[in-house]
A and B are shown apart, each in its own frame.
Chain A
Amino acid sequence: MTRSSYLVLAILFAAAPAFGQSPLADLTDADLANGKRLFEGQCARCHGMRGTGGEGANLARPILPHAADDSALFSVIRSGIPGSGMAGTRSMTDQEVWQVAGYVRSLSRIAVVSLPGEAGRGRVIYETKGGCQACHIVQGQGGSLGPELTAVGTRRGSDYLRQAVLDPGASLPDSLMLPPGYAEFLLVRVVTRDGREVRGMRVNEDAFTIQLRDQNDHFHSFHKPDLREMEKEFGKSLMPSYQGRLSTSEIEDLVAYLASLRGEP
Chain B
Amino acid sequence: MRSVRLLAVIAMLLWPVGLDAQVPYQRIERAESEPANWLTYSGSYRSQRFSPLKQINADNVSGLRPTWVYQVREPGIVEATPLVVDGVMYLTEPPSTVTALDARTGRRLWSWSPSMPKDVLHIGGPAVNRGVAILDDTVFVGTLDAHLVALDSKSGAVRWDVVVADNRLAYWISSAPLAIDGKIVIGVSGAEAGIRGFLDAYSARTGERVWRFWTVPGPGQPGSETWGGDSWETGGGSTWLTGSYDPEFDLLYWGIGNPAPDWNADSRPGDNLYTCSLVALDASTGELRWHFQFTPHDVHDWDSNQIPVLLEAEVAGRQRKLVVMANRNAFYYLLDRQTGEFLLGTPYARQTWSDGLDQRGRPIVLPNTEPSVEGTLVYPSLQGAANWFSPSYSPLTGFFYVAVREMGAHYFKGQAEYEPGTRFTGGGEQALSGDSAYGAVRALNVGTGEMKWEFRLLSPPRAGMLSTAGGVVFGGTDEGNFFALDAGTGEPLWDFQTGGGIRSNPMSFSINGKQQVAIAAGQALFVFGLP
> Do A and B bind?
yes
A interface list, Cβ under 8 A from B: 37, 40-42, 44-45, 48-50, 52-55, 82-85, 87-88, 90-91, 174-175, 178-183, 186, 205-209, 225, 232, 234
Most B-side CB within 10 Å, residue of A49, A84, A178: A49
Contact of A49 among B412, B433, B492, B523 (CB under 8 A): B412
Contact between chains at B423 and A91 (CB < 8 Å): yes
B interface list, Cβ under 8 A from A: 74-77, 94, 119, 121-127, 192, 375, 382-383, 409-410, 412, 414-416, 419, 421-423, 425-437, 439, 456-459, 477-481, 483, 492, 495, 497, 523
Contact between chains at B421 and A180 (CB < 8 Å): no
Say yes or no: A208-B432 contact (C-beta < 8 A), given A83-B75, A91-B422.
no
Most A-side CB within 10 Å, residue of B383, B421, B431, B437: B431
Rounded to whole angstroms, the CA-CA distance of A175 and B127 in the bound complex is: 27
Closest chain A residue, CB of each to CB of B128: A85
Contact of B126 among A40, A84, A91, A207 (CB under 8 A): A84
Contact between chains at B375 and A49 (CB < 8 Å): yes
Contact between chains at B122 and A87 (CB < 8 Å): yes
- Chain A contact surface mostly: loop
- Chain B contact surface mostly: loop
Contact between chains at B480 and A49 (CB < 8 Å): no
Contact between chains at A183 and B435 (CB < 8 Å): yes
- CB-CB under 8 A from B458, the residues of chain A are 205-207
Contact between chains at B423 and A181 (CB < 8 Å): no
- CB-CB under 8 A from B431, the residues of chain A are 48, 54-55, 181
Contact between chains at B479 and A206 (CB < 8 Å): yes
Contact of A183 among B382, B428, B434, B523 (CB under 8 A): B434
Closest chain A residue, CB of each to CB of B301: A45
- CB-CB under 8 A from B124, the residues of chain A are 45
Contact between chains at B77 and A91 (CB < 8 Å): no
10 new A-B contacts, CB < 8 A, other than A91-B421, A206-B458, are A40-B414, A42-B423, A45-B382, A50-B430, A84-B77, A90-B421, A178-B434, A207-B483, A225-B492, A232-B435
Contact between chains at A55 and B383 (CB < 8 Å): yes
Nearest-Cβ distance from residue B347 to partner chain A, whole angstroms? 23
- CB-CB under 8 A from A84, the residues of chain B are 75-77, 126
Most B-side CB within 10 Å, residue of A42, A84, A175, A208: A208
- CB-CB under 8 A from B437, the residues of chain A are 181
Closest chain B residue, CB of each to CB of A52: B430
- CB-CB under 8 A from B410, the residues of chain A are 49
Rounded to whole angstroms, the CA-CA distance of A40 and B375 in the bound complex is: 12
Contact between chains at A181 and B436 (CB < 8 Å): yes
Nearest-Cβ distance from residue B191 to partner chain A, whole angstroms? 12
Say yes or no: A83-B457 contact (C-beta < 8 A), given A44-B428, A49-B428, A208-B481.
no
- CB-CB under 8 A from B457, the residues of chain A are 207
- CB-CB under 8 A from A44, the residues of chain B are 412, 427-430
Contact between chains at A83 and B94 (CB < 8 Å): yes
Nearest-Cβ distance from residue A226 to partner chain B, whole angstroms? 10
Contact between chains at B127 and A208 (CB < 8 Å): no
- CB-CB under 8 A from B459, the residues of chain A are 179, 207
Rounded to whole angstroms, the CA-CA distance of A155 and B479 in the bound complex is: 27
Nearest-Cβ distance from residue A50 to partner chain B, whole angstroms? 6
Say yes or no: A208-B433 contact (C-beta < 8 A), given A44-B412, A82-B75, A91-B423.
no
Contact between chains at A48 and B477 (CB < 8 Å): no
